[in-house]
Structure 1
Amino acid sequence: MLSSRRINNPKEQAALLDCVQLMDLSMDRVWDSILALNEKTTISHKDAHSWLSSVLTNHVTCLDGLEGSAKDLMETDLSDLILRARTSLAMLVAISPSKDEIVEPLNGDFPSWVTSKDRKLLETLPNDVKANVVVAKDGSGKFKTVKEAVASAPNNGKTRYVIYVKKGTYKENVEIGKSKKNVMLVGDGMGSTVITGSLNVVDGSTTFKSATVAAVGDGFIAQDIWFQNTAGPQKHQAVALRVGADQSVINRCRIDAYQDTLYTHSNRQFYRDSFITGTVDFIFGNAAVVFQNCKLVARKPMTGQNNMVTAQGRTDPNQNTGTSIQKCNIIASSDLEPVKGSVRTYLGRPWKEYSRTVVMQSTIGNHVDPSGWSIWSGDFALKTLYYGEYMNNGPGAGTSKRVKWAGYHVITNAAEAKKFTVAELIQGGVWLKSTGVTFTEGL
């Protein structure tokens, strides 16, 4: 599909390289989905639903990143792929075993990639983790960089591969590729082990490739680490952490940047006891993702900018994706607090047509605008999005002055809220329980 005609613009070349990677991931996910559907179980059907949802997300990410002659060359073919992905999703939903049967059984076997050792890893203190390899800047470990340690992990590993990153600041960009499965990065604490970078869109990176750490290999876990992108607000999109790994867990981590801090790109993800800061769209993407017991911290943006906690990117009503913020604390940073009266902060805005975000059982600070949610552009997506709030508290939680869009809901029915829990949105009853991470399965 990629034309042999030369593209000389460096930004267009970078976007094309993103597309190559995304298409490669999509081919794998289509094949995985075919195998899963042949198993004909409820769990395998939900796996296929997640993976085919990610295929569509990959295609859209590719198209979104293209411009100029590269877009001219590829737009027709990509639009065809997007249509095919939509059709596949619609067919899958049509043959769903039961549209009401969402909760996974908890007494079934764990996925094959889980070991008994995995269950305790997420409950241990940093110094108690038994690592496969150690990274240390002072040379006391096997490696001095995280990138080298990741490269040492076996390809398509079936068991957990633990990389212990000792305290220190590691200035590098790291990718946990698709073949590096079941990798766990564990540090000495979110204030001690720092992985930092500064790639950004203004200086020529794509948003996709700007991530300081990007995790694609399934079964990824990060714990007790600080992920940074220090590009600053004037550099616009600059990602600290991008995750597209299915069944990934981010536990006790700090994720810092300004615009586009955390790219929850695709597949099923869970964040617990983490600290995430930013300004514009600082949690964005199209994963099925649940945040629990996290602090979501709005910072002081550039003059004239509004803060957006989320920008969820669901493009099709058949995608099983969405962002769920449960039992979190949505607060203002120390630099925003004195000027919060002159800076508008919103819970989110609809990046794509079927954007889906729910905030529930959380504490919302008074820096959040009474309307709660912002438009993207005009009336785009206001009838097709799904934004919900359920049993929140705090000075910013009142719903009387919230937006009146067709797609906005004050949820009063527990059954409706349950659709956005760990058990139902990310089917965590099966795979999260096996990791040992603390989580609330339901409401």
Structure 2
Amino acid sequence: MGDTDAGSKWKVIIATFASVLLVTAIISVIVAATYNRARSEVVSTSKAVEAICSPTRYKATCQHSLSKANTTDHRKLIEAAITVAVGDVRAVLAVLLEAAKDPVTKGAFSVCRDVLARAVRDLRRSVGKVGGAFADAARAREYVSDLRTWLSAVVANQETCVDAFRNTTGDAGERMKRLLKTARELSSNGLAMVTDLSEYVGAFRLEKGGGRKMVVKEGGAFVGRRLADTASLKPSIVVAKDGGGDFKTINEALASLPKRNNDSFVVIHIKAGVYSENVEIPEGLNKIMFVGDGPSATRLTGKRSVAGGYQTYYTATLAISGEDFLGKDLGVENTAGPEGYQALAVRVSGDRSILHNVRMDGYQDTLCADTHRQYYRNCTVTGTIDFVFGNGLALFQDCTFITRKPGPGQECVVTAQGRSDYNSNDAFIIQNSRFTAELAFLAVRPMIASYLGRPWKEMSRTIIMESEIGGFIEPEGWAPWVGTFGLDTCFYVEYENRGPGANTTGRVTWKGIHSLKGEQINSWTGGVVYGGDDWIRDSGVPYVPTMMQVKGN
């Protein structure tokens, strides 16, 4: 690639950064303007700015972006915020072009390009949702749920961009942090405004400490018609490795589809066989359904890893970026082994994704529950270090987490949830599931230390309830990340679990360890946390929106 082409490429990336800043400014101001218009509080510029910035985490950034706006006109307030934001990007263009010469740094920039493009799209669609929370009272809960999910994903994707520079040389990572400082603060402010807005419209209220208050839907397991009987499905496309279908590979099948799909589900039947290919459901290709012949019969395998020269984000054997994905009766594996370090089997980034009876095998970072709303039912995940991690709002029901024997000198941790903003709706909720270990792990003496989770990000949040925990889990239960990072600000809950590892008397006593009961724990059931769960109910996948009342607890 020549210098001109390289320069053009990075200018496109910078333009993406500019878009993030621009649209975050728009969403922050529009949310606040709508909020205050409804309350009839905007009577002067100073009061307008004060009211707009009052619920935000970064008040100075909010006020600075509007400091020169001598008006209460919403359009002019938007222009003022945009001017400040875009100016930050222009100042660092030369720095980024210079940093992009390093190969490892180029990989980090590629991650930023992709995740920030997603952030821009989430921000843009958020703008159109704000008014709906006021205009349509019957759907206010749904609108607010969408807004909080999308803005939480914006915050998470910006974190992913910064994290991509962790192993780069020089000061590119620090400079990237400075570049995104305003965007990250504006995104956090927009999320805070939406959370505050949610109280006003009566959709739901985020309580201090992470709980919500809302009427819990009644009902037990829901089984619809579409997937209740796999044999009754009529596939749109058949993939068969032996040539007995429409395509021999999954990627060929996906390539045959239009680049965007938002209408009806495309059912792809993947027949028994081992498919050695890295597969991505791209953003915009929505409502894709993968149906295999069983987790041990239909298997996708890949071996990309950080040790092999890939960014963690790009190592997934199966990456799901499109929305409303549904995967059933599949096995997905990353075969890089413990020596590959971070090596994903599955990354789920698309909103309203469902995995049912899917087995995910790997070692470090097996499943990245990356962003947006996700639901897992009867799934199995195997691994060693942080083998379920990410920033999404993910509910696991009737799943099995199997700890494997790690590499020399390594400890094992099941979860590493990555919530980084107090107002984010992200969480891992594990209900009526099992924490167990493979025989090779249990045979090691002395026993290898293994934990339920650790705080990858400052506001890490994981709730484990009505589940069976094996005796291989350390009595402390939870492990620190580095030093005291996140120990006071994480949100970890264990409720009515069972098994030899469920005894909490020896647990760590961080401020971030919480004990919930009654309405507090009910607020973490699927019928509440999703703010609208029709996308699960309509799928036909077994689902319980309430506490399960598991026998033996």
Name the TM-score, length of structure 1 as normaliser.
Answer: 0.94
Contact 1:104 1:429 in 2 (8 A): no
2:213, 2:255 → 1: CA distance?
40
Counterpart among 224, 247, 259 of residue 143 in structure 1 = 247
Partner of 1:318: 423
Contact 1:269 1:426 in 2 (8 A): no
**Which range moves more in the overlay, 65-74 or 158-167?**
65-74
Alignment CA distance shift 1:403-1:254 (3 Å)? same
Partner of 1:437: 541
Alignment CA distance shift 1:340-1:312 (3 Å)? farther
Counterpart among 225, 230, 234 of residue 130 in structure 1 = 234
Contact 1:43 1:104 in 2 (8 A): no
Counterpart among 57, 68, 81 of residue 169 in structure 2 = 68
Paired residue type of 1:13: K
1:43 aligns with 2:139: no
1:29 aligns with 2:133: no
Contact 1:106 1:430 in 2 (8 A): no
Contact 1:153 1:161 in 2 (8 A): no
Partner of 1:332: 437
Partner of 2:226: 121
CA offsets 1:63-94 (integer angstroms, 9 cap, x no match)? 11013354255332212211111111111111
2:241, 2:102 → 1: CA distance?
37
1:401, 1:26 → 2: CA distance?
41
CA offsets 1:250-276 (integer angstroms, 9 cap, x no match)? 000100000000000000000000111
Contact 2:216 2:546 in 1 (8 A): no
1:84 aligns with 2:183: no
Contact 1:285 1:312 in 2 (8 A): yes
Question: Which segments of structure 1 move beyond 6 Å, counting only runs of 4 or more?
Answer: 104-107
Contact 1:271 1:292 in 2 (8 A): yes
Q: Secondary structure at the match of 2:448?
A: coil
How far the C-alpha of 1:439 sits from its partner, in A, is: 0.9
1:19 aligns with 2:121: no
Contact 2:217 2:527 in 1 (8 A): no
Contact 1:283 1:309 in 2 (8 A): yes
Name the TM-score, length of structure 2 as normaliser.
Answer: 0.75
Partner of 2:102: 9
Counterpart among 408, 418, 443 of residue 522 in structure 2 = 418
CA offsets 1:93-135 (integer angstroms, 9 cap, x no match)? 111123155458799xxxxxxxxxx94333223x442111011
Alignment CA distance shift 1:148-1:271 (3 Å)? same
How far the C-alpha of 1:147 sits from its partner, in A, is: 1.1
CA offsets 1:214-262 (integer angstroms, 9 cap, x no match)? 0011101110000100000011100000001111100001000000000
How far the C-alpha of 1:424 sits from its partner, in A, is: 1.8
Contact 2:387 2:415 in 1 (8 A): yes
Paired residue type of 2:371: S
How far the C-alpha of 1:426 sits from its partner, in A, is: 2.4
1:226, 1:395 → 2: CA distance?
29
How far the C-alpha of 1:299 sits from its partner, in A, is: 0.5
How far the C-alpha of 1:278 sits from its partner, in A, is: 0.3
Partner of 1:112: none
CA offsets 1:324-365 (integer angstroms, 9 cap, x no match)? 010001101121121275201100000000000011000000
**Which range moves more in the overlay, 42-51 or 153-162?**
153-162
1:367 aligns with 2:472: yes
1:299 aligns with 2:299: no
Contact 2:99 2:105 in 1 (8 A): no
Partner of 1:402: 507
Paired residue type of 1:58: N
Q: Secondary structure at the match of 1:249?
A: strand
RMSD: 1.8
Counterpart among 170, 175, 178 of residue 280 in structure 2 = 175
Alignment CA distance shift 1:59-1:104 (3 Å)? farther
Contact 1:282 1:309 in 2 (8 A): yes
Give the number of the structure whose alpha-carbon radius of gyration is greater: 2
How many pairs are equivalent? Answer: 431
Q: Secondary structure at the match of 2:97?
A: coil
Where is the helix percentage greater, Structure 1 or Structure 2? 2
Partner of 2:338: 233
How far the C-alpha of 1:191 sits from its partner, in A, is: 0.5
Partner of 2:158: 59
Alignment CA distance shift 1:119-1:340 (3 Å)? farther
Percent of aligned positions with the same letter in both sequences? 37
Paired residue type of 1:68: T
Superposed counterparts of 1:241-390, under 5 Å: 241-339=346-444, 341-390=446-495
Paired residue type of 1:437: V
1:310, 1:35 → 2: CA distance?
35
In structure 2, list runs of 5 or more residues that go unmatched.
Answer: 1-12, 15-95, 134-139, 206-211, 548-553
